[in-house]
Amino acid sequence: MVTVSRRLFFALWPDDASRRALADEAARLAPLCGGYPLPAENMHVTLAFLGSVDEVRLAPLVDLAQGWPALRGEWRLDRLGHFPQPRIVWAGSQTPNDALLTLDTELWRALSRHGFTAPQREFTPHVSLVRQAGRAATRTTLTTPVIWRYDHLALVESRLDGEASRYLTLAHGQS
């Protein structure tokens, strides 16, 4: 029997105004950091990266996403950061967002009932802006803070398309 694996994660997607503002910021930063800006349609915050998941485990994850109650929240992005490996410049918050931290905890609690284990590191909500960034931005704050409004949780598949990733939403919670 051949098993098919899919690269999956749970995420929040930005509203259109936030997406445009973040894409503009990424375009400004990329030449300064030595990388390339992420496409606006790929910008998201990953809550739970599941990695390669056998397709036979997909149905309960779809049910989990579709059954997730409606979310109404805002996230203020006002900070820039840099992960030297995997060479990403990102946007996040200077102060913790309690609602996102709680959502992350609740999601991993639900995922544990399906055999998934939360990572042993602190959750730092962030949005990748620039990939292959050879250096951090010279400033530590966004040009203009972005207020990201979110309203649903999504189960997403990441598919490699040449060198780039394409994201396909498989299911989402109520909005």
pLDDT band at 1 (very low <50, low <70, confident <90, very high): low
Domain count across the chain: 1
- For the chain, give percent helix, strand, coil, nearest 5: 30, 40, 35
Question: Does 136 fall in a domain?
Answer: no
Active-site residues: which are they?
A: 44, 126
What confidence tier does 44 reach under pLDDT thresholds 50, 70, 90?
very high
What does the pLDDT look like over 65-117, one tens digit per residue? 999 998 989 999 999 999 998 899 999 999 989 999 999 999 999 999 999 99
CATH number assigned to the domain comprising residue 166: 3.90.1140.10
pLDDT at residue 21, as a whole number: 95
Query: Does residue 90 form part of some domain?
Result: no
Residue at 30 is within a domain? yes
Range of the domain at 116: 5-73+96-122+149-172
- Is residue 78 assigned to a domain? no
Residues forming beta bridges with residue 81, ordered by sequence position: 90
Helix (H, G, I), strand (E, B) or coil at 126: coil
Q: Are 67 and 107 in contact (CB under 8 A)?
A: no
How many alpha carbons fall within 13 Å on the CB side of residue 86? Answer: 4
